[in-house]
Homo-oligomer: A and B are copies of this chain.
Amino acid sequence: MDEHILNKFFEPEKVALIGATRTPGFGYGIPGFWKRHGWLEKAYLVNPKGGEIEGKAVLRSISELPDGIDLAVLMVPAKAVKGAIKELGEKGVKALVIESAGFAETGAEGKREQEEISKIACQFGMRLLGPNCVGVVNTELKFATIEIMDQALEKGEVGIIAQSGVFGNILLDHLPALGIRVSKVATLGNKIDLDEADFLEYFAQDPKIKVILLYEEGIQDGRRLIAALKYATEKKPVLVLKSGRTEFGKRATLSHTGSLSGEDLIYEGAFRQAGAIRASNLQELLYLAKAFTSQPRLKGKRIGVLTTSGSMGAMLSDALFEMGFELAEWSVGTLEKIKQVAPGWVNLKNPLDVGPSGIFGKALDALFSDPNPDGFVLIPVIPFAAIEPWRAIGFKMRDFFGEISKLRERVPDKPVITVLLGYEQFEKEMEELCGNAITVVHSPEMAVRVLAGLSAQKRLAD
């Protein structure tokens, strides 16, 4: 069987950069980036000016390239793209990322130019990603066709398919701070050949990818996308963010990636039917991604809540009600356990508000033994100044809140979300205490949106 063409994009043996430059600008950063990550030795740089970049000799023309280039990355001005593709085709290159912009997104002339490019590539049996994109990232091999921050190259389980280049790149910049680690990224741009359906199918088969994120502006072949979505959602969760939902948004996507974004209600229905989970905004998409890499499905509607702040508990309760959840009844056994340790002013309700009583860990122990809740939200927020004197005499966060991440092992089949708010250092240490098996968010509403996503997830075979 032939190798999948997308392997050439994500695991090339030899790669060529057409348009490498020695002066800052597009094409400048990549050679250095590749050098740092061991890719420059497998790379060929092309620029008519020749010379040397990062200690590597620069070829003056594509014709000087050796045979067997798996992937070529084009960073030349739009006008030079057509010629370059012909030459690459003649060299037998089958996989190409066109990062250059200035095609369909600029109007009729650009669209014509784009169509010609497509024809040429087709004649050579060449598969194209772009134009107007930044190509791909594969963190496992530390390979990328655009320079990104080292932090974003940490291996992870999220696959991202983003129509836009800059946006895909900004996401990569932003994710490490949220604790989201990526496996592979594809940015699509104007999609004259490879599109979201191709990458959905490919990512669905990739055992390293646990959840797929799809940012959509407009869809050319709706039937194919829906089929690909259905295929993918049978294997893993697929989260979708779609812009161009409204009149203004549609105009914006048209001038951005030349996409006709279509009627939103049709998309809404199609996404749902295909089993995809739609995020209503970027923040939600990102927190869902985080939750889906670590949390099990939410199998019911009954949520148990433990809080140190009555206000945050009330806000969470409002959000739970509005999204159709239930507040679980605590079992008699649970109430007995809490009574034994709680001061008199603690109300034995759900949300269980233990305030600054110091029984958070013990309460957690009791609640996690309760069979009633289908999932949990924890709100361990305490003013940092109030715990600082204790810390000065050796108290640790776990002394105030219990071994949260260890206790979490008691409910492996139920999602646990923590809402954190407060002093930066406090949030950081609490996040560490929660560990990777608990999803941390920063507002009651986001906790509930994440639960809603986990509740909408398909039951998957494995």
Output the least CB separation between A67 and chain B (Å).
31
Interface string of A366-383 (1 = CB under 8 A from B): 000000000000000111
- Closest residue on chain B to residue A347 by CB atoms: B255
A102, B28: Cβ atoms under 8 Å? no
CB-contact partner of A314 in B217, B347, B389, under 8 A? B217
Complex interface: stretch among A141-149, A224-232, A451-459: A141-149
A421, B174: Cβ atoms under 8 Å? yes
A311, B351: Cβ atoms under 8 Å? no
Please report the C-alpha to C-alpha distance between residue A383 and residue B33 in the assembled complex, in whole angstroms: 14
B172, A383: Cβ atoms under 8 Å? yes
Interface string of A245-264 (1 = CB under 8 A from B): 11111011101110000000
Please report the C-alpha to C-alpha distance between residue A282 and residue B442 in the assembled complex, in whole angstroms: 10
Interface centre among A110, A148, A248, A345 (most CB of B within 10 A): A248
Given the known inter-chain contacts A29-B388, A311-B215, please indicate yes or no for A252 contacting B317, CB distance below 8 A: yes
Output the least CB separation between A78 and chain B (Å).
7
Q: Tell me whether A426 is interfacial, beta carbon within 8 Å.
A: yes
Q: Which of A50-94 contact B (CB under 8 A)?
A: 78
CB-contact partner of A310 in B24, B257, B345, under 8 A? B257
Q: Tell me whether A353 is interfacial, beta carbon within 8 Å.
A: yes
- Closest residue on chain B to residue A327 by CB atoms: B248
- Closest residue on chain B to residue A442 by CB atoms: B283
Q: Tell me whether A338 is interfacial, beta carbon within 8 Å.
A: no
Classify the interface of chain A: helix, strand, loop or mixed: helix
Interface centre among A146, A169, A256, A381 (most CB of B within 10 A): A256
Q: A24 — which chain B residues lie within 8 A by C-beta?
A: 389-390, 393, 395
Q: Which of A164-203 contact B (CB under 8 A)?
A: 164, 166-167, 169-170, 172-174, 177
Output the least CB separation between A211 and chain B (Å).
20
B28, A385: Cβ atoms under 8 Å? no
Q: Tell me whether A320 is interfacial, beta carbon within 8 Å.
A: yes
Count of chain A residues with a beta carbon within 8 Å of a chain B beta carbon? 89
CB-contact partner of A309 in B170, B356, B382, under 8 A? B170
Interface centre among A163, A174, A314 (most CB of B within 10 A): A314
Please report the C-alpha to C-alpha distance between residue A106 and residue B243 in the assembled complex, in whole angstroms: 48
Given the known inter-chain contacts A24-B393, A248-B317, please indicate yes or no for A164 contacting B310, CB distance below 8 A: yes
Q: Tell me whether A422 is interfacial, beta carbon within 8 Å.
A: yes
Please report the C-alpha to C-alpha distance between residue A426 and residue B310 in the assembled complex, in whole angstroms: 36
Q: Tell me whether A462 is interfacial, beta carbon within 8 Å.
A: no
B29, A385: Cβ atoms under 8 Å? yes
Q: Tell me whether A32 is interfacial, beta carbon within 8 Å.
A: yes
B148, A353: Cβ atoms under 8 Å? no
Q: Which 4 A-B pairs have the closest CB atoms?
A: A256-B310, A167-B311, A246-B321, A249-B318
**Besides A151-B423, A245-B318, 13 other A-B contacts (C-beta < 8 A):** A32-B389, A149-B423, A164-B311, A166-B309, A166-B382, A243-B311, A246-B318, A252-B310, A253-B310, A253-B314, A256-B313, A281-B443, A283-B442
